[in-house]
Amino acid sequence: MKNRALLFCIFSLGSQVSWSQNAEKLNEKIEDWYFGTIVMTSGDVIECDFAYNPLTIEGLLQFSYEGVNYTAGPSKISSFGFFDEERGTYRKFQSFPVYSEVTEMTNEIFMEILHETQFISLVGRKTTGLKPGYGFNANAVITQKNVIKGYERYFIDMATARLHEMTKKEFFKLTSDKKPEIKSFMKEEHVQLNESADFIKLMEYYASLK
């Protein structure tokens, strides 16, 4: 993952956030606000309006509580969730400890829980960045044309907290102890592993074998 510019200062609950003019412009154009529940790492539970901003690797959450705006990352927020009326489903995001083989360090990162089992979880994260050559300055007008959006899906090995790309190779690496059984199941059920639903089906089958 490439480092992205940190646009917002992270403040603990109780400190007011001062956002830059560019950050406000960008957020107004690319983020949706929802009403939902935030669980702080302190254990406090807050119901308020918030918007998830993916412009950093870890992810940041902007929220409005008792008339004051705040910004916090996964070091302060354990999880958050909301009902997505457009999708007709409840969506939950959680702070996961993810190990990086590059830095050999573990950092907390917000991930959306797409499906979870005791052994492997399928998670995703929205990514947003600026096109190459476009930088922030006081007079910049940020529009959708300057923004690149994407959505990345990963497996998380629940035993090691390591992140793996959602590929056939990585899935079979994570389930190598039951590979013969999984291969037979795939043949019987005609599973092709072309989409997330196929991986989820095998994740559930793998969990049933343990």
Give tens-digit pLDDT for 116-173.
Answer: 999 999 999 877 666 666 555 545 555 556 666 778 899 999 988 788 999 999 999 9
| pLDDT tens by residue, 16-60 | 333 333 444 444 444 688 999 999 999 999 999 999 876 677 888
Domain count across the chain: 1
**71: which residues sit within 8 A by CB, 6+ positions away?**
8, 9, 10, 11, 17, 19, 53, 60, 61, 62, 63
| 176 occurs within a structural domain | yes
Domain span holding position 204: 167-210
Predicted confidence (pLDDT) at residue 9 exceeds the cutoff of 80 = no
Give CA–CA dist 84/59, Å, rounded: 19
Query: Taking Cα atoms as reference points, which of 149, 158, 105 lies closest to residue 128?
Result: 149
Inside any domain, residue 197: yes
Residue 136 lies in a domain: no
Closest to 20 (Cα-Cα) out of 6, 30, 37: 6
At residue 199, does pLDDT exceed 60? Answer: yes
| 158: in domain | no
- Examine residue 78 and state whether it is found in any structural domain, yes or no: no
Which pTM value belongs to this model?
A: 0.70
* Cα separation, 125 vs 153, whole angstroms: 7
191 in a structural domain: yes
Q: Is 27 contained in some domain?
A: no
Query: Which pLDDT score, from 0 to 100, does residue 87 have?
Result: 87
